[in-house]
Amino acid sequence: MPTDRPLNIYPLILCGGSGTRLWPLSRESHPKQFLPLLRGRSPFQATLERLNGYAESRPVLIVANQAHRFTIQEQARALGARPYRLYTEPCGRGTAPAVAVAACRLLREDPHAAMLIMPADHDIPDHASFRAAIELGEAALNLQHLVVFGLPPASPESGYGYIERGESLPDVPRCHQVTSFIEKPEREIAQHFTQSGRHYWNSGIFLFGAAQFMAELEQFEPELAACCRQAADTIVEASDHQHIELDAFARCRSISIDHAILERTHAAAVVPASFAWSDIGSWQALWEADVKDPQGNVTRGDIHLHDVTDSYVHSSQRMVVGIGLKNMIIVETADALLVATRENAQQVKEAVELLRTQEREECRTHQRVERPWGCYEDIDSGDRFRVKRLTVNPGARLSLQMHHHRAEHWVVVRGTARVTRGEEIVLLSENQSTYIPVGVSHRLENPGKIPLEVIETQSGSYLKEDDIVRIEDVYCRV
């Protein structure tokens, strides 16, 4: 049955995921959706741009890990993005809880709300074709269908989910009922799907009525639906984001939209879409989507190749020379080097999982780490010492904090620093330094108009980032 009136569509961008298949560029602290991979833009920024002119009267909803809050705000600010509402998750729980919490909050102010749900890490360069597919899906949405967007499979991909279409919807031309969802089939089955004419790649882009989504979740996952409603009730509203409380959200079962609802509902409809699309899910996918030289190579950075064909070579810091190579992936960063064949690009995820079991920091963070006040970069470390370069933006300041296990020496190499050390406040200029003993409260500020650069030398028995006790913080991290 159609709805009494057309639903009001709110774009919802899901920013979860660690992008492990694009390691070593993508790390947990700065995953692929925030890397400048697409024509100078990050995939997240490209997703925001794709929404220009669409449902402009309504804010964009964004759900993201709380660790990426400042990255999202900075990248949105750089675009001059329209108003958005940011929900920060204290832990990952999959797409179904993320969407459910946003839906619960949305329904409080708009009972006729619908959500255009999009991952933040896709590349869809043809905005007009994307918009045409969405408009086709809106007709099915208003007939109370849960709309999914399928893409004709260009190749047999075992890393994608597939949708099998059924009968045409009588009242919506070019839309079909969904017969089945198939999650990441074996290659031989994927080959059959590619040739069948009835199967589509599952794009992960959905169009749902918020009330209908919650009703379906309550039918198939009643305990999860109740937990998501409770989590929505715990949200703390700050001036620039809405934070979901940890204990309540942790009780939500971790599950995807596909497994929770779409594989079990009779209300799903598929819109066969024709827009160019990539989930940028591997180095192979990035090579396929990018512009190549006459030898079929994609290069980024200081690269020099001789007798190299059909390869992807990326340098972040050092010069990279390749000789006599074919079908290779080579990615250099300050602290890691990846060398793989293109056909094995999907196995990067397995390598990262192994690093994680070994508790290697290289799978979690880069040497350069962004902070709301600027950034820091690790220079050297050893037994009982660690050296960093801090860059503090003009007018910015770190939290007032103390450490239980380490002392710090600060040397100003550029700019002017205002230093709080216990009850003392001093100004330091270039080549001046100060010492912060263990247990003493301290703060670093940049009162000047140019970036402040400081070399920080830590010494002590424990030097990891969790030895920070924040006493006061302008960025609400206490």
Tens digit of each residue's pLDDT (9 = 90 or more) over 398-442: 999 999 999 999 999 999 999 999 999 999 999 999 999 999 999
- Residue 439 lies inside a defined structural domain of this protein: yes
Sorted by sequence, the CB contacts under 8 Å of residue 375 that are 6+ apart come out as: 368, 369, 390, 391
Q: What is the pLDDT of residues 81-111, one digit of tens each?
A: 889 999 999 999 999 999 999 999 999 999 9
> What type of residue is 197?
G
Domain co-membership, 156 together with 305: no
| pLDDT given for residue 182 in this prediction | 87
Which residue, of 210, 245, 272, is where some domain finishes? 272
SS (H, E, C) 245-299: CHHHHHCCCCCCHHHHHHCCCCCEEEEECCCCCECCCCHHHHHHHCCCCCCCCEE
- Residue 445 lies inside a defined structural domain of this protein: yes
CATH of residue 66: 3.90.550.10
Rounded Cα distance, 375 and 452, in Å: 11
What is the model's pTM?
A: 0.88
- Residue 3: pLDDT band (50, 70, 90) is low
Domain co-membership, 259 together with 309: no
Count other Cβ atoms within 10 Å, centred on residue 58: 17
Domain co-membership, 111 together with 197: yes
Q: Is the pLDDT of residue 124 over 90?
A: yes
Give the SS3 label for residue 458.
strand
- Residue 478 lies inside a defined structural domain of this protein: no
Lookup result for tokens 């109370």 = 144
Domain co-membership, 468 together with 400: yes
Domain co-membership, 465 together with 431: yes
CATH of residue 413: 2.60.120.10
> What type of residue is 382?
G
Domain co-membership, 162 together with 97: yes
Q: What is the pLDDT of residues 300-329, one digit of tens each?
A: 999 999 999 999 999 999 999 999 999 999
Domain co-membership, 134 together with 239: yes
Q: For residue 404, give its domain range.
A: 368-472
Q: What is the pLDDT of residues 41-94, one digit of tens each?
A: 999 999 999 999 998 889 999 999 998 999 999 999 999 988 999 999 999 999
| Beta-strand runs (E) in 289-350 | 298-300, 303-306, 312-315, 320-323, 328-332, 337-341
Q: What is the pLDDT of residues 170-208, one digit of tens each?
A: 888 889 999 998 888 888 888 888 888 889 999 999 999
DSSP H helix total and E strand total for the chain? 11, 28
Q: Which of 184, 174, 268 is nearest to 220 (CA)?
A: 268
Cis peptide before 24 (omega within 30 of 0): yes
Total domain count, the chain? 3
H-assigned helices in 88-126: 95-109
- Residue 18: pLDDT band (50, 70, 90) is confident
Q: Which of 335, 330, 393 is nearest to 360 (CA)?
A: 335
- Residue 222: pLDDT band (50, 70, 90) is very high
- Residue 278 lies inside a defined structural domain of this protein: no
| pLDDT given for residue 81 in this prediction | 86
> What type of residue is 227?
C
Domain co-membership, 177 together with 305: no
Check if the beta carbon of residue 72 is closer than 8 Å to that of residue 86: yes
C-alpha pair distances (Å), 265 with each of 126, 202, 215, 259, 308? 31, 16, 11, 10, 50
Q: Is the pLDDT of residue 332 over 70?
A: yes
What backbone phi and psi angles, to 5 degrees, belong to 296?
80, 15
Domain co-membership, 397 together with 433: yes
Lookup result for tokens 């996952």 = 221
Count other Cβ atoms within 10 Å, centred on residue 432: 14
Q: What is the pLDDT of residues 253-278, one digit of tens each?
A: 999 999 999 999 999 999 999 899 98
| pLDDT given for residue 157 in this prediction | 81
Which residue, of 247, 272, 297, is where some domain finishes? 272
- Residue 2: pLDDT band (50, 70, 90) is low
- Residue 112 lies inside a defined structural domain of this protein: yes
| pLDDT given for residue 424 in this prediction | 96
C-alpha pair distances (Å), 1 with each of 5, 167, 268? 12, 17, 14
Higher model confidence: residue 289 or residue 26?
26
What backbone phi and psi angles, to 5 degrees, belong to 353?
-60, -35
Q: Is the pLDDT of residue 26 over 60?
A: yes
Which residue, of 249, 272, 295, is where some domain finishes? 272
Domain co-membership, 114 together with 250: yes
- Residue 411 lies inside a defined structural domain of this protein: yes
- Residue 13 lies inside a defined structural domain of this protein: yes
Percentage of the chain exceeding pLDDT 70: 99
Task: Please provide the average confidence, as pLDDT, over all residues in the chain.
Answer: 93
Q: Is the pLDDT of residue 1 over 60?
A: no
Chain-centre distance of CA 411, in angstroms? 35
Domain co-membership, 183 together with 306: no
Q: What is the pLDDT of residues 351-361, one digit of tens each?
A: 999 999 999 98
Q: Is the pLDDT of residue 475 over 90?
A: no
Q: Which of 77, 61, 53 is nearest to 114 (CA)?
A: 61
Q: Taking residues 122-151, what's their average pLDDT?
A: 94
Domain co-membership, 260 together with 379: no
- Residue 362 lies inside a defined structural domain of this protein: no
